Chain A
Amino acid sequence: MIFLVWLSVLLLFVFLMVYIIWSLRAEERLALPRLRATFFGGVLAFTAIFVAFTWHTLRVMPRTTHGDQLTPAVRDGKLAWQKYVCIDCHTILGNGAYYASDLTRAWPRFVDRAGGDEAAARTAMKTWLQHPPGPSATSRGMPQFAMSGREAESLVEFLRWTSKIDTNGWPPKPLREQTATAGTTPASPGATLFASNGCTACHSIGQGRIQGPDLAGVGRRYDRDTIIAFIVDPQAVYDRKGKSPVNEGYPTMPSLAISPPDAALIADYLIGGQS
């Protein structure tokens, strides 16, 4: 079947070439009835081949998109994706509004930052969706959609499923990798909290900026209490300093409702990790 379609495409291409050469002739030598017949005949032929290709494509797509893994959660995620009009900032499969990042490969990015831990990546992504960073004077932010936990989870499932679509190799691998691959996850409680609270979605330690600044050496810039205060309630720190965000060129940090004891563990991890 597909061979026949290809053959027809070849024939149509030859037809198109002949048509182009024909159409370049002096206009007086083109008879209107023949032009009319060629138009309607040609449209019919091209439409037929397009329908044939569509038929084949629709048969193949369940495989290239892993249709069997499209769970109800993915479906709910797709509905949430539409409900919050995500596509009018982001792009997905490269189509959308170009104001915010492409989300085709958002899932592997989160997994990378969580050191390969899928459960941590899930939490991080969910946290991000429920507490996205707001805009600052110099950096774009995401609206607080106040989405429910269920919606955020289904969106994670949707993006995870989307990332597995066979896109014929798009987006291409960068010619030079800028960000080093994530190291192994240290087993300290602070490191685990750092990943599971979604911090890794915005911050790396020594691997460059993401949405937020690189936290390498943060222990030399701030004392432990400031770091803890900042993790617990960033807005309070912004208010106290009269500066939002603290670092120019970044969005504001969302409040993630992290308890002071957890924040202390994370702070210890950040300070201790700066050997």
Chain B
Amino acid sequence: MNDTAIAVPQSRVGQHFFIFAALIMALQLVVGLLAAAQFIWPTLLFSILPFNIVRMLHVNTLVVSLLAGFMGGTYFLVAEEGGGLLHSERAARWNFWLFAGGIGAVVLGYLAIVVTGEWSLWLSEGREYIEAPRWADWAIVAVALFFLFNIWRSVSKRAGWNDITRMLVIGLGALAFFYLFGMKFFANVALDQYFWWWVIHLWVEGAWELIAAALYALLLIRLFDFPRERAAKYVYLEAGLVLFTGILGIGHHYYWIGTPSYWLTVGGVFSALEPLPLLLMVLDALRIDRARRGIEHPNRLARAWIIGGVILHFAGAGLWGFAQTLPAANRWSHGTQLTAAHGHIAFYGAYSMLIIALIYYALPRLRFGGDEYDQRRGWWAFWLMTSGMALMTVALTVAGIVQVYLERMLGIPFAEVQSYLGIYYDARLVGGVLMTLGIALFLTDVFALRAVRKRAGQ
């Protein structure tokens, strides 16, 4: 058994981040549910929480839950790699409270808009996904640097630099670096979007993929007893394919925003190949899963979140992304519910499921010092959330196709077209309810994971 080789870490700070990530994820679902409901009942809570505030909270909680998950996962796994300890547990704890405090301050700012009814650039910058105001930007950068410093020291002093830890730190460094491009004000909205995509695209199809590849590799080593050297090879292969297609693949955001027309060619060619690494990942994961079936790691649930994540990553980012990445298709689909469908399933598959897998891997070790726990609630959460997301994606996809046909092709005005899409928004809300039930079960596990008594003879 492999899990005996990796000692349960004494470092506890990962747990702080995991609980925070899970809470933020739950908040994301709650405000998401409200947003979905406002599509159907436009007056619902409208005077208190207008849609733009709800939506701002929804996308910001998405980003924050993933950042908290990445940080927690990194602290936890780096500690495990380093024989159980971080270089400074105290610094890591400070890191957590500064991070949580900063996020809390930003959210309080958003709520101040709600309470006072006064809109201000000091409270929200009004730029999608990175609405946090300028003062918060600097605070976020400071916390990110502090985090990088801590990880750097822990890897140098304890875990050691190798191909996987190096890729992890490169990804985290790139995450912090590209955030800087979201901090400048542009009066020119086209330039604004040009650099805004440096944050968004180079995060989700760049830096975050590197982090995810490294975290996946570390989990494969643990849960599938995968040899380290082979895992390192996979990291380079995947990361290489992702970046070689993804860096110039950013061109698929530069088709229609006032940029020169050569981006249609560059973006089309390279982004069309972006699904390839994701497909390889699915094939590899399934192969590894089959080959390693004999190795019975007790944490089957964490394995399921990994395999499921890889599959939905490919479906959401690969298939749904490819469906609208070529300029000829994107010309029609750009700015419709099709993009929303793609965004939802891609984020869930690529990142949320990975974070949940990390949490389900780490929690039993933190709580019970091993890999044995009662997985029943977790399986319900897995199927509820995944089927909810599937339903939501299909509903939004159909809504998007209808919207493209009526609005873009026939030229019927936006508001009228939206009035015909009610049934799809109803179905999306049902998907959201399923997901919320799932996250409630998951959250229950995070706070009260049930132990399972070891059977005799084991």
Contacts and interface: CB of A to CB of B under 8 A. Distances in A.
Nearest to B60: A88
A79 B121 contact: yes
Interface residues of A, number: 91
A50 interface: yes
B52 A89 contact: yes
Interface in B107-156: 117, 119-121, 124-128, 131
A89 B51 contact: yes
Given A136-B42, A140-B42, A175-B409, A95 B335 contact: yes
Contacts of B4: none
Contact of A53 (B186, B266, B336): B266
Interface string B241-258: 101110110100011111
Given A38-B240, A178-B410, A20 B126 contact: no
Contact of A135 (B43, B117, B273): B43
A222 interface: no
A86 B41 CA distance: 20
B46 A135 contact: yes
Interface stretch (B76-84, B89-97, B229-237, B438-446): B229-237
Interface in A36-53: 36, 38-39, 42-43, 46-47, 49-50, 53
Given A84-B119, A96-B128, A143-B52, A16 B189 contact: no
A57 B194 contact: yes
Nearest to B405: A175
B415 A210 contact: yes
A98 B260 contact: no
Given A85-B56, A99-B39, A168-B264, A141 B46 contact: yes
A93 B247 contact: no
Given A64-B260, A95-B335, A23 B237 contact: yes
Contacts of A136: 42-43
Contacts of B187: 70, 74-75, 78
B414 interface: yes
Interface in A44-78: 46-47, 49-50, 53, 56-58, 60-61, 64-65, 67, 70, 74-75, 78
B411 interface: yes
B120 A174 contact: no
19 contacts: A6-B262, A15-B244, A16-B273, A19-B244, A20-B276, A38-B236, A42-B244, A43-B244, A58-B191, A79-B121, A85-B124, A88-B126, A89-B52, A100-B414, A101-B415, A165-B258, A169-B331, A170-B334, A178-B412
A93 B240 contact: no
A93 B237 contact: no
Interface of A: 2, 6, 9, 12-13, 15-16, 19-20, 23, 27, 30, 32, 35-36, 38-39, 42-43, 46-47, 49-50, 53, 56-58, 60-61, 64-65, 67, 70, 74-75, 78-79, 81-89, 91-102, 134-141, 143, 145-146, 158, 162, 165-172, 174-179, 208-211, 249, 251
Interface residues of B, number: 86
Given A35-B237, A85-B56, A172 B247 contact: no
A32 B335 contact: no
A97 B128 contact: yes
A61 B258 contact: yes
A87 B51 contact: no
Contact of A140 (B236, B250, B408, B415): B415
Contacts of B188: 61, 65, 67, 70, 78
Contacts of A53: 248, 262-263, 266
Tell me if B's interface is mostly helix, strand, loop or mixed. Answer: helix
Interface in B256-292: 256-264, 266, 269-270, 273, 276, 280
A254 to B, nearest CB: 14
Q: Which of A12, A97, A137, A211 is the most central at the interface, judged by chain B CB atoms within 10 Å of its CB?
A: A97
A35 B269 CA distance: 24
A19 B241 contact: yes
B179 interface: no
A174 B411 contact: yes
A101 B257 contact: no
Contacts of A20: 241, 273, 276
Closest 5 CB pairs of A and B: A174-B411, A94-B335, A82-B126, A170-B256, A88-B52
Nearest to A92: B189
B418 A167 contact: no
Given A82-B126, A138-B42, A146-B117, 19 more contacts: A13-B269, A30-B237, A32-B236, A35-B233, A46-B244, A46-B247, A49-B248, A57-B194, A61-B188, A78-B188, A81-B126, A82-B125, A82-B127, A87-B128, A88-B51, A93-B257, A165-B258, A174-B411, A178-B410
